[in-house]
């Protein structure tokens, strides 16, 4: 709702800009014409000076602190008068309440045994050449350390995080079982937690101030910081995403990762798929082989000793 003081300022602006009568402007704005002629006789300069001095000395305090000090000094000004001047000077500030993340139980950093078992996510911050903020979301698969996403934008709310994970799941044709994240607002929002429950994904929150509990993504962040964020100056978000996608392709295809035995992430995943295929084929061959009789199996296990008969207890000596 617009107050009378704001309406009077609007009337003054319209009167200077347009050649219209005061009556017409007041009817348009919804203000009585008589209020435009009213001039207060009150002098609040002393109250303004005292409030300004308090604001310079104690900028983090509020009206209750200032009014209490005024009363302690013996000035019997009405509370409504002091509050009106306080608001007129624009000293009203929203109380900043620090959001404290909940305490988390420490969990060991376990290495998954298959692809799409556990993802790790984290945000990085930088700026473009013109000073605009850059927010980067990194997502990796903990099994083969493959980078699944390196995307930047001005802001990255929880809704966009959900859309990114849905896109990754569509590309890989499945959702992960677990996702390891920190306690950022994008990961603790109701929208993100409800999405995880709907897709039966367990969220592994690290303890506040313990980035080593998310060591896989932190190690990837170091490479990304050195090879991308610290190596280039970006003019736009589109330019950043092109360079980041080029880095992701090179990292997944050619980077010899020590956690994979010196193999790049995609090569390591392919080798694991080949080993799994050979293991499945071997298991199928054993299951399809015909069973052997006990006596035949024993005879097959005993090799020919060059003239020694396996049928007699005491072989003949030639």
Q: Options 3.30.1330.10, 3.40.50.970, 3.40.50.300, 3.30.420.10; which CATH number does 118-265 get? A: 3.30.420.10
* Plot region of 209 (φ>0 → left; ψ -120 to 50 → alpha; else → beta): left
Mean pLDDT over the full length of the chain: 84
311 has a pLDDT exceeding 80: no
5-30, pLDDT tens digit by residue?
788 888 888 888 888 888 888 888 88
Alpha-carbon distance 78 to 126, whole Å? 50
pLDDT at 121: 95
| C-alpha span between 94 and 100 (Å, rounded) | 18
The region that residue 201 occupies, defined by phi over 0 for left and psi between -120 and 50 for alpha, beta otherwise, is beta
For residues 114 and 177, give the distance between their C-alpha atoms in angstroms, rounded to a whole number: 11
Candidates 247, 252, 249, 237; CA nearest to 152 is 237
User: Between these two residues, 85 and 38, which has the higher pLDDT value?
Assistant: 85
Q: Residue 180 belongs to what H/E stretch?
A: strand 178-181
pLDDT, position 318: 37
- The pLDDT value recorded for residue 289 is 57
For residues 67 and 19, the model is more confident at: 67
Q: How far apart are CA 161 and CA 188, in angstroms?
A: 12
Q: Say which residue, 183 or 106, is predicted with more confidence.
A: 183
Provide the 10 A C-beta neighbour count for residue 66: 19
Taking residues 177-202, what's their average pLDDT? 94
Q: What is the pLDDT of residue 174?
A: 93
Vertex 174: Cα angle to 183 and 144 (nearest 5): 70
Whose structure tokens read 């219209």?
Answer: 20
By DSSP bridging, strand 178-181 and strand 118-127 are parallel
Q: Which two tokens stand for residue 147?
A: 């980078």
Burial of 276 (0-12, 13-18, 19+ CB in 10 A): exposed
Give 199-247 pLDDT, tens digit per residue.
999 999 998 888 889 999 999 999 999 999 999 999 999 999 999 999 9
Domain boundaries, the chain: 4-88, 118-265
Q: DSSP labels for 154-173?
A: S---HHHHHHHHHHHHHHHT
Contacts of 133 (CB under 8 A, 6+ apart): 125, 127, 154, 155
């Amino acid at each position: 709702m617009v107050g009378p003081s704001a309406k009077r300022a609007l009337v003054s602006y319209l009167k200077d800009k347009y050649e219209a009568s005061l009556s017409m402007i007041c009817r348009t704005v919804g203000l009585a014409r008589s209020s435009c002629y009213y001039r207060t006789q009150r002098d609040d300069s002393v109250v303004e000076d005292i409030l300004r001095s308090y604001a310079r000395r104690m900028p983090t305090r509020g009206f209750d602190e200032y009014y209490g000090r005024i009363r302690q000094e013996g000035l019997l000004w009405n509370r409504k008068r002091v509050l009106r001047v306080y608001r007129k000077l624009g000293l009203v500030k929203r109380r900043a309440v620090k959001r404290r993340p909940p305490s988390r139980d420490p969990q060991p950093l376990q290495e998954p045994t298959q692809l799409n078992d556990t993802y790790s996510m984290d945000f990085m911050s930088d700026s473009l050449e013109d000073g605009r903020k850059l927010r980067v979301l990194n997502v990796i698969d903990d099994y083969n350390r493959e980078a699944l996403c390196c995307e930047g934008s001005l802001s990255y709310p929880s809704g966009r995080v959900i859309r990114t994970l849905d896109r990754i799941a569509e590309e890989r044709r499945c959702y992960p079982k677990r996702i390891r994240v920190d306690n950022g607002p994008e990961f603790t929002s109701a929208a993100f937690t409800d999405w995880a429950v709907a897709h039966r994904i367990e969220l592994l929150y690290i303890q506040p101030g313990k980035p080593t509990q998310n060591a896989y993504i932190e190690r990837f962040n170091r490479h990304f910081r050195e090879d991308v964020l610290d190596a280039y100056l970006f003019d736009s978000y589109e330019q950043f995403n092109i360079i980041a996608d080029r880095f992701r392709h090179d990292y997944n295809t050619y980077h010899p990762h020590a956690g994979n035995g010196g193999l790049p992430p995609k090569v390591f995943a392919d080798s694991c798929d080949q080993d799994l295929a050979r293991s499945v084929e071997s298991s199928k061959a054993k299951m399809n082989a015909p069973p052997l009789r006990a006596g035949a199996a024993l005879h097959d296990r005993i090799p020919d000793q060059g003239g020694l008969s396996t049928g007699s207890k005491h072989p003949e000596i030639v």
